[in-house]
Structure 1
Amino acid sequence: MDSTFTLLDLGWQAYFQQQLSLDDLESNRIARICSQKGSNYELISEFGLFSLESDSDMPSMTVGDWVITDTEHRFLRLLESSSIFENNAANIDTIFIMCALDQHFNLALIKRYLELTHNAQADAVVVLTKADRCEDATEKRAQVEKLDPLLIVETVNALEAQSLHCLSPFLKKGKTVALLGTVGSGKSALINTLMQTTDGGKTPQSIGDSGALKIMPSGAILLDTESMRELQLAEFDNHALGSFADIIALEKQCKFSDCRHQGEPGCAIKAAVSNKRLGERRVADFMLLRNEDYDDNQVTKSKPQGKFYRSAQSDVRARKHSATE
C-alpha cells in the first residue's frame, strides 16, 4: 500500500485546518476515515493506514470524516464536517445527481435528491445521461434547469471520456465527489469512464482495503460506499409520503387493480379530479413519484419507488387505525 499520500491528496481543506489547535499541529496526527466495518474504522494519514476500534466515549463517525489522533493512533477528537449524509458519508464537496434521459427520466426524483443534497450541505450537479436514447433531451434538460436558476445541469454520454470534460471543474485535486441515482441512471458507466487514465492523468488509486475512497486520475477523490450506492429516498422522505396518503387510499377504490389513472373506466383518482377533490398538478406529482413503467401485460415499479409506495400504504393504515381509536 502506498503510504505517501499528503493531506491535500486525501481531501484536506482550509475548513478543517481552522479547527486545529497548536497541539494538533505540533504533536498529533490527522487522519481520514476510509472504511467502516461494524465498530472498526480504517483510517489513512500521511503516515499510512491504521485501524481504530470504536468505544462508547467516541462520537458517531462515518466514511469521509476527519479525526485527530495521538502518535499512538489513539482517538482524540472528531473534526466538524463540511457536509454530512447521516450514517452514510461525510465531507463530500460535490454530488453528481444522475438521471437517465430515457424512460427512467423522473423530475420528481431529481427534486428529492436535490433536497437531500442541500440538507447535507453539499453542492449538487445534475448529470443527465443516455441522451442518445432520447428524442427530447433538450426539453427535459430545460425542465431540470427550471428547478433552480443557479442549478448546474450537464448532459453527457457516460461511455465517452470526451463527453465528460464538462465535469472537470468539479474533479480537481483534493475535491471529494459522490454519485446519487437509481439503478439504470448511468452511475457505473460514469465511474468507469472517469477512472480511465487520460490526458496524462495518474493511475487511479484505492485508499485502504475497501476501496470506498479512490483517488481519480484527475486527483479528485471518489467516495463510493455501499450505503451511498444503495441510498433510498424513501428513508429520507416519509414526510412526502404522508402528503399522498389520500391518493393511495383512493387507488384502492379504482375498478381495476392495475389502473394507470390515465382515463380507465372506474378510476377513483380521475373521478376525484373531475369533482375538484384533487388537483391535477398534485396527481401529476404523485405519478412522478410512483415512477411506473408499463408494458402490455404488467405494471412494474422501480426499486426506490416501490419503497415509496409501500411506505405510503403503511401511512394510510396508520391513519385509519388512529382514527378508529
Structure 2
Amino acid sequence: MDSTFTLLDLGWQAYFQQQLSLDDLESNRIARICSQKDSSYELVSEFGFFTLENHSDMPSMAVGDWVITDTEQNFLRLLEPSSIFENIASNIDTVFLICALNQDFNLALIKRYLELTHEAQADAVVILTKADTCNDAAEKRAQVEKLDPLLIVETVNALDADSLRCLSPLLKKGKTIALLGAVGSGKSALINTLMQTTAEGKAQRNIGDSGALKIMPSGAILLDTAGMRELQLAEFDSSAIANFADIIALEKECRFSDCHHQGEPGCAIKGAVKANRLDEQRVADFMLLRNEDSDDDQVTRSKPQEKFYRSAQSDIRARKHSSAE
C-alpha cells in the first residue's frame, strides 16, 4: 500500500488552511479519515497511516473529514467540513449525479439527488449516460437543465474515454468526487473508464486498505463508501412511492388510520377500485411496495432511505396542495 501522500494529494484546500492555528502549523499534524470501522478510524497524513480509536468525547466523524492530532497521533480537534453528508461522508467537492438515457430516465430522482447534494453544500453535476443509445438525448438534457439554469449537465457514453473528456475540468488534482445514481445508470462503467491508466502511465492509488478513497489518474479523489452506495439503494423507495402519489393521498380518506386496504369498512382505496377510479393492478403493486417498505419493527430503513422517503412524501403533499389551489 502506497503510504506517501502530500496534503494536496489528499484533497487539502485553502478552506481548511484558514482553520489552522499557529500551534497547528508549528507542532501539530493534519490527517484525513480514509476509512471508518465500528470503533476506530483509519487516517492518512504526510507521515503515513495510523488508527484512531473512537471515544465518547470525540465528535461524530466520517470518511473525508480532516482532523488535527499531536505528534503522538492523539486527537485534538475536527476541522469544519466544506460539505457533509451527515454520518456518511465529508468534504466532497463535486457529486456526479448519474442517470441513464433509457427507460430508466427519472427526472424526479435527479431532482431529489440535487436537493440532497445542495443540502450537503457540495457542487452537483448531472451526467446522463448511454447517450449513444438514445434518440432524444437533447430533449432529456433540456428537461434536466430546466431544474437549475446554473446546473452543469453532460451527456456521455461511459464506455468511451473520448466521450468523457468533457469531465476533465471537474477532475482536477486534489478535488474530491463522489457518484450517486440508481442501479444500471452506468456508475461502474463511468468509474472504470475514468480510472483507466493514462498515456503518462499514471494509475489509481488507493488511500488505505478499504479503497473508500482513491486517487484517480487525473489526481482527483474518488470517495466511494458503503453509505454513499446506500443512498443509491433508496432509489426504489423514492421513485416508486412518487409514482403512487394519488393512492397515498387517497388512503388518507380511509375510515381507519391503520387501514390495510384489504376489505375493511370505509376503505377509500377499495371504494375507488369498485368505482373504476383506480386500476386494481396499480393498487396491488402499491400494496406490494407498502409491504416491502413496511414501518414495522421487523423492517428498519437506513437513515439515507428515511431521508428519501420523507422527501417523496413531501413531494406528494406539495403536489396535493398545488392541485387544491
Note whether the superposition's TM-score is higher than 0.5: yes
Q: 2:273 aligns with which of 251, 255, 260?
A: 255
1:266 matches 2:279? no
Q: Which runs of 5+ in 2 are unaligned?
A: 253-267, 280-285, 290-304, 318-325
Counterparts in 2 of 1:201 and 1:80: CA distance versus 1, 3 Å: farther
SS in 2 for 1:81: coil
Amino acid at match of 2:227: S
Shift of 1:254: 4.7
Amino acid at match of 2:276: G
SS in 1 for 2:114: helix
Q: Is the 8 A contact 2:109 2:235 kept in 1?
A: no
- How high is the sequence identity, in percent, across the aligned residues? 72
Structure 2 partner of 1:175: 175
SS in 1 for 2:12: coil
What is the CA deviation profile of residues 224-279 of structure 1, one whole-angstrom value per residue up to 9, with x for unaligned ones? 00110121557997xx97987315666555539xxxxxxxx81338xxxxxxxxxx
Q: 2:249 aligns with which of 246, 251, 254?
A: 246
Shift of 1:136: 1.1
SS in 2 for 1:179: strand
Q: Is the 8 A contact 1:112 1:233 kept in 2?
A: no
Structure 1 partner of 2:157: 157
SS in 1 for 2:273: coil
Shift of 1:30: 0.2
1:37 matches 2:37? yes
SS in 2 for 1:268: coil
2:85 and 2:202 mapped to 1: Cα distance? 29
Structure 2 partner of 1:200: 200
What is the CA deviation profile of residues 289-321 of structure 1, one whole-angstrom value per residue up to 9, with x for unaligned ones? x9xxxxxxxxxxxxx89x859x96xx99xxxxx
Structure 2 partner of 1:138: 138
Structure 2 partner of 1:105: 105
1:233 and 1:118 mapped to 2: Cα distance? 18
Amino acid at match of 2:30: I
**Mapping of residues 278-289 of structure 1, within 5 Å:** none
Please report the TM-score for the alignment, with normalisation by the length of structure 1. Answer: 0.76
What is the CA deviation profile of residues 17-52 of structure 1, one whole-angstrom value per residue up to 9, with x for unaligned ones? 000001101111000000001121000000000000
Shift of 1:4: 1.7
Q: Is the 8 A contact 1:234 1:308 kept in 2?
A: no
1:252 and 1:28 mapped to 2: Cα distance? 67
Q: Is the 8 A contact 1:180 1:229 kept in 2?
A: yes
Counterparts in 2 of 1:140 and 1:94: CA distance versus 1, 3 Å: same
Counterparts in 2 of 1:203 and 1:234: CA distance versus 1, 3 Å: closer
1:248 and 1:64 mapped to 2: Cα distance? 43
Q: Which piece of structure 1 moves more, 77-86 or 201-210?
A: 201-210
Shift of 1:202: 1.2
Q: Is the 8 A contact 1:36 1:42 kept in 2?
A: yes
Number of residues of Structure 1 aligned to a counterpart in Structure 2:
270
1:68 and 1:205 mapped to 2: Cα distance? 24
Structure 1 partner of 2:323: none
1:252 and 1:186 mapped to 2: Cα distance? 40
Q: Is the 8 A contact 1:212 1:224 kept in 2?
A: yes
Shift of 1:216: 0.2
Structure 2 partner of 1:260: none
What is the CA deviation profile of residues 132-156 of structure 1, one whole-angstrom value per residue up to 9, with x for unaligned ones? 2222111101100111111100000
**Mapping of residues 179-190 of structure 1, within 5 Å:** 179-190=179-190
Shift of 1:203: 1.2
2:251 and 2:191 mapped to 1: Cα distance? 37
What is the CA deviation profile of residues 158-215 of structure 1, one whole-angstrom value per residue up to 9, with x for unaligned ones? 0111110101111000000000011011111110000001242511100001000000
Structure 1 partner of 2:220: 220
Please report the TM-score for the alignment, with normalisation by the length of structure 2. Answer: 0.76
Q: Which runs of 5+ in 1 are unaligned?
A: 257-264, 270-286, 291-303, 317-325
Structure 2 partner of 1:77: 77
SS in 1 for 2:177: strand
Counterparts in 2 of 1:246 and 1:127: CA distance versus 1, 3 Å: same
